[in-house]
Structure 1
Amino acid sequence: MIITGFLVLFGAYFLFRHYKDRISAVLIGLLGVGALGVGIFPGNINPQHPLFALTTFISGGLSAIYSYRMIKPPFKYFALIFGLFCLGFLFGFLISPNSFIMGAGGVETWVAYPIVLWLLGFGGYLMGLGSTEKD
């Protein structure tokens, strides 16, 4: 997670340099900071780990939703679905934790995986844009 956090921060920097979009850079940068913090503070370190995990999940979901305006179909719809799915499970669990029979670990999986899938897809999408540009 530490390496992931650094790589996401690195990517946010270059995303800002290319697109000059502060909101996306901040959201993705927060995702990187959150992942870095989750790696530095293991699950048994309170309150740091839960705070960094919450930062990761919220900024990851918002990043996926915000990227909707930066990308073209059909991936833009997947990005929106991933972000809404992530935030829906997260806030549903925070509001009513007893209504989820899968427990906190199961909900964490359903929150984290959409972010990972979106991040991989978004990175691939951006790299694919570079191959269509003429030098």
Structure 2
Amino acid sequence: MGSIPGAFKDDHEMGFRLIGFGYFLAGIIIILAIIIAEAVYPGYHVTQYISDLGAPSLSPHPCIFNISIIIYGFIVFLVSLFFLLQNRSSGSGNRCSSTNSKTISFIFIMISGICAIGVGAINEDLGVAHTLCAAFTFIFGILAAFFSGFWVKIPYNVISAIIAVFSFIALLFLVAEIDLGIGLGGIERMVAYPLILWEMGLGGYLMNEGKAMVLKEQPEQSDKNFIL
């Protein structure tokens, strides 16, 4: 029966921690950017769409939001890609459902990050393309949260599932233009904020569980002569 070499195992563990740090940092950046962009936008109210903060025709400082969400999306994309490359280079051949769900989750997060870059690069004034980027950012974020529920530990798997369902329902209300008295901007925040908080929570989870995740995969891999 094989085993994971100590140095490589340490590198793999550090990889999980760096990925977690990236997600957490990205969440902090976009939340602070939204707060600052709202503060310098005279008369702005949370009942307005978030993307209004990046529209040159509406916001006096659209670059605050647009540049920040591009940075956010790039970080999310980069660390997700890092996980997929690390997972591939580890020689993982495990086909158990938790491993597959983990890979699917990171693919969806990566796509969500790419779409977030599009939200900033194609501002609200440019119309349908921006709307599609925003919609796919939400959709793939929801899917990522849902599939993460199959591999993260209790209680975060339950939290992930609740957030995925909550954001999905809120997205349906947003598409149907049902504002429930909090404006469509408020409904949009019911989609976006839980997903951002989930992503930050996932970042904390990965930073804390990096070693445990490596050790958990060791017996399954060594039985098949794979090395993480």
Q: Provide the TM-score with structure 1 as the length reference.
A: 0.87
| Alpha-carbon distance between aligned partners in 2 of 1:10 and 1:24, rounded to the nearest angstrom | 14
How much identity, in percent, do the aligned residues show?
A: 35
Q: Write the distance in 1 (CA, Å) between the matches of 2:180 and 2:122.
A: 26
Other-structure match for 1:106 = 186
Q: Work out the number of aligned pairs and report it.
A: 133
2:109 to 19, 28, 41: 28
- The letter of the residue matching 1:104 is L
Q: SS of 1:44's equivalent? A: helix
For 2:78, the aligned partner's letter is F
In structure 2, the CA distance between the partners of 1:98 and 1:64, relative to structure 1 (3 Å rule), is closer
Q: Which amino acid aligns with 2:148?
A: S
Q: Distance in 2 between matches of 1:24 and 1:107?
A: 25
Q: Would you tell me which structure has more helix in proportion to its own residues?
A: 1
Partner of 2:82: 14
Cα shift at 1:128: 1.1
Aligned to 1:124: 204
- Partner in structure 1 of residue 54 of structure 2: none
The residue aligned with 2:151 is 70
Normalization by structure 2: what TM-score? 0.54
Post-superposition shift, 1:99? 5.7
* In structure 2, C-alpha distance between the alignment counterparts of 1:61 and 1:47, rounded to whole Å: 21
Superposition CA RMSD, Å = 1.9
Point out the structure with max Rg over C-alpha: 2
Q: Specify which structure has the bigger relative contact order, considering alpha-carbon pairs within 8 angstroms and separated by 6 or more residues.
A: 2
Q: After the TM superposition, which segments of 4 or more aligned residues of structure 1 sit over 6 Å from their partners?
A: none
Tell me if structure 2 keeps the 8 A contact 1:69–1:76.
Answer: yes
